[in-house]
Each structure stands twice: as C-alpha cells, then as structure tokens.
Structure 1
Amino acid sequence: MDVVFLGANNAGFAIYDWLCERDDVTVHALLTRPGQLSLIETVEPELVVAAGFDHVVPPEILDVPERGCLNVHPGLLPHARGYNPNVWSIVEGLPAGVTIHWMDEGIDTGDIVATREVPVSFEDTGKDLYERLETACYDLFVETWSDIRDGDVDAIEQRDTEATYHEKAEFTDLCELDPDETCTVRELLDRLRALTFPPFDNAYVDIDGERYYVDVSITPAAEVNEPDGVGLLDAY
C-alpha cells in the first residue's frame, strides 16, 4: 500500500517508523507542515495516515487518496475534539483514551475506526496522561493496522450530542489563574494537575505585580513512607 504520513509528535514518529519497517507499505513521505500537503496531490497515495499533525487538511487534499485519510487522535472521541485532549479530560472529568478515525472537513469529527480507553487517576498530571495516551496511540494503531490494510473495518459515525471541542486559545486562557476566582479545592487541583507538564511552565498567577508559575504533585497516602508507622501529627 502506498502511504503518505502526516505527523509531528512522539506517537506520530513511532507509528511512522513502524510503517517504514513493514513490507506491506511504501511510505513515500513524512509531512510535518501545511505547506507540504501539495505533495499528496503529486504522489496520489492510496492512504494518508496522520498522527500528531496539528493542522487542518483542506478538502481538496482529503479527496486525493483512494482509501481516504486516517487520523490517530489522543482523545476518546467524540469527547475532547481539538487541542490538548489530555488536559481537558482531567479538567472536565471526561473519559480519556485514543481514537483512530477517518478524516473529514471537520476537526476530529470523522467516522470512528477504533478506540481504546485509558485510565486516569487523581494523582495523574497532564504529562502523565499525555505519555500514557502516546503509548496507547501507537499500540492501537499497530493492533488495528492489518484490518485497515485489508479494508476490514466498520467505521462508526460519531454522536455530536456527546462531543466536546477545545481550541488552542482555550488552553492559553486556562493557564492564567485568577487569584480572586472562587472554586472548589477539587476544581483547582484538577486544573493544576492538568496543566503540570514539566519542563514547561503552564499555570501562572500574578500577585502584587509579580508572576509565579504553579505546578502540583499529588501522592497517594499508600505511597508515603512513614518511619515505624509514625505520622507527622503523631510526632508532636
């Protein structure tokens, strides 16, 4: 099968490398920028595969591949369409996971080929979940590839009534903490852990003309080592 690959993140590069090593695929190009998409019209591949390509593919390009354009999305569609699904899964309490779907003119709105849910715990940061989603993207694609290659997939239409969508600008707004905002402790911790992604500085608050960046670390009590069974309060 002739393939052109669109990708620019760790999961995308891992899937690209895996496809390049296979005897049943000829990967003609790895495209990472919108200005390169015209190459698809030149190559006319049977299939386009995208993973980590954060740009809208125009309809005239989507129509070129005979088999269509397939995207690997790090969100459990129709939940968390758009940018930073790992963040919004935590902030909004949405199911987390990954989805393989056919691309259409919308953003992450095409028919679903396969999904896999990824568990989330209260101790997870945005980075923890992101890394788990990356692994799931690769694993799901590898396991589904033979069915995709053989045309043995039954795609399912997404339910728009269950959909959520976020743009990149919403993530930028989420990073700015209002010191006078009222919220529950749970809401604040969910927001902070979702934005914790070292080495990046995401969440910040401005106090008395100074800016402070905020990360959070949450540790289950079962993992805290207390010498001889004595807790802090017991020591006084």
Structure 2
Amino acid sequence: MTDIVFLGVNDVGMRIYEWLCQRDSVDVKAMLTEPDQLDIIHQIVPEFIVSVGFDHLVPPEILSLPTEDSVNLHPSYLPYNRGKSPNVWPLIEGTPAGVTLHSMDTEFDTGDIIAQKRVETEFSDTGKILHQRLEDAQFELFTQTWPEIESNNIEYASQDDSAGSYHAKDDFVELCELNADEELPVKTLLDRLRALTFPPFDNAYVDVDGERYYVDIEIRKATDDDETETNGLLSSY
C-alpha cells in the first residue's frame, strides 16, 4: 500500500484525486488545499506528496518529509511556460504546449522531469479550448505514469536551464489590457485575443471614449462547404 498526501484544488486535480482513491494499492491519507494545512504532513510522513493544481510553493522542510518523493503535475511542456497561465503563452509565443509530471523542488516547476506529453495546437484554438485539452492530457499522463512510480520504475531527467520560459500572474494581467491606439500585425492581435478568450470570464478589454469593452474571439477553420457557399454568394452578384 502506497501512502499519499494529495495537494490540489482544480478540476483535473479532483479527477486524479478520485482516481487515486479508487486504487487498491493507494491510501490517500489527506487532501490539502491551503498552505496552512501543510503541517499535518509532519504527522503523516507519507511515501509521496502528489500535487495537482496546488498554487502555493511548498517549503523545503515539507518536501523533505515523504520517504519516496514529492511530485507535481504541471500543464506545460517544461521547461517552457513555468508559472501561471500555461494555456495562454503557447498561443501567443509559439512555445510548445504540453503537460509534465515532475519532482518538486524549492522553486515553481523546476524539478527533474518524470514524464511529459506534447499537446498540439491550432490557429482556431482559444485559451479555453487549449486549457481543456491540457486537462485531458494531464489526466492521461498521470494515470499512465503512476503505476511506474508505484513500482519504482522511473527515470528522472534534469530540465534544461538554458531554455524555457516563466510567467507570473502580473504578466497575464498586463496582457489583458488592450491599447486602442497600438498598431499590431493582424496575426499578433488575433493570437492575443484567442489566447485570452475563456468564456464566461472577461479577460481582454479595451477602453474607448471613456467606456470599457470586453473582447472575445472565435476563429473557424474553413471547410470545403464554406468555400462552396462563398463561391455561390459571389456568383449571385
């Protein structure tokens, strides 16, 4: 029986938590969602800490308690897009999208990699669409990899410190404010708008004539039927 303390709060975290609870080989001792709950790990001393969607940095004295490892599931293809909003930056910067299971250390998303999975993107993707795709990939990667972790049949790979990227919450907040007078290439603007489109949340906004307007976008890939309809419309004039 493998003893676990689970750290998490988001949707895919709940999916993985429930999946672990259903495994006969796993005993989830606690699910913690706030940093002031971490002291309980001193009493439990589990084999593993598993973090999925825990937004707080876990201090070194807690990470040292598990007898095996502390692992985190991050929705980016590390070392790219460490930190916040990893569903946004691949659409803006063209960095690889994906998910990574890694060992936790004293900084966000910098520990040795256990397993990774690339996630493809399209120009029609929005931030919400990519977020959903990354959630599914996280669940798939974790459930495929966990049996190997239980059996101690994994190899760790160091991250390349010379590559990658990191984004803080302030980077996302700054991205949301559109300057009505700024000139941008069309694709650059579209990439920014689609990355920020995440209904029902209002992210991108622009102030015009003293009023604030929120902006979402939808991009559709053309099909043969679309082209036929367009040609028919043009021929009617």
TM-score of the aligned structures, taking structure 1 as reference length: 0.96
Distance 2:229 2:55 in 1: 52
Distance 1:223 1:82, change over 3 A: farther
Residue 101 of structure 1 is matched in structure 2 by 102
Q: Unaligned 5+ residue runs, structure 2?
A: none
How do 1:200-211 residues align onto structure 2 when only pairs under 5 Å count? 200-211=201-212
**Residues 118 and 151 of structure 1: CA distance in aligned 2, closer, same or farther (over 3 Å):** same
Over aligned residue pairs, what C-alpha RMSD do you find? 1.4
> What are the Cα deviations for residues 4-37 of structure 1, in whole angstroms up to 9, with x where unaligned?
0011111111000000000100001111111111
Tell me the CA shift for residue 179 of structure 1.
1.0
Deviations 1:58-84 (A, max 9, x none): 111111111121000000000000001
SS of match in other structure, 1:85: coil
Percent sequence identity is 54
Offset, 1:234: 3.4
Which residue of the partner structure matches residue 58 of structure 2? 57
Q: 1:229 to 1:204 in 2, by over 3 A?
A: closer
Inter-partner Cα distance in structure 2 for 1:189 and 1:144: 36
Describe the superposition over 1:27-54 as per-residue Cα deviations: whole angstroms up to 9, x where unpaired.
0111111111111112111100001111
Q: Distance in 2 between matches of 1:191 and 1:228?
A: 30
Aligned to 1:123: 124
Instruction: Assess, with a 3 A threshold, how the Cα gap between structure 1 residues 166 and 223 changes in structure 2: closer, same or farther.
Output: farther
Q: CA deviation at 1:128?
A: 0.3
Equivalent position of 1:84 in the other structure? 85
Question: Paired residue for 1:28?
Answer: 29
Could you tell me which residue of structure 2 aligns to residue 66 of structure 1?
Answer: 67
Number of the residue aligned with 2:177: 176
Show the 5 A alignment for 1:87-166. Answer: 87-166=88-167
Whole-angstrom CA distance in 2 between matches of 1:42 and 1:231: 72
- Consecutive aligned runs of 4 or more in structure 1 exceeding 4 Å deviation: 223-229
Partner of 1:18: 19
d(CA) in 1 for partners of 2:21, 2:209: 54
Structure 1 stretches of 5 or more lacking a match? Answer: none
Which amino acid counterpart does residue 129 of structure 1 have in structure 2?
L
Question: TM-score, normalised to structure 2's length?
Answer: 0.96
Cα gap change, 1:223 to 1:49, in 2 (>3 Å): farther
Farther off after superposition, 177-186 or 102-111: 177-186
How far off is 1:229 after superposition?
Answer: 6.3
161-170 vs 221-230, greater mean Cα deviation:
221-230
Displacement of 1:163 in angstroms is 1.5
Alignment match, 1:198:
199
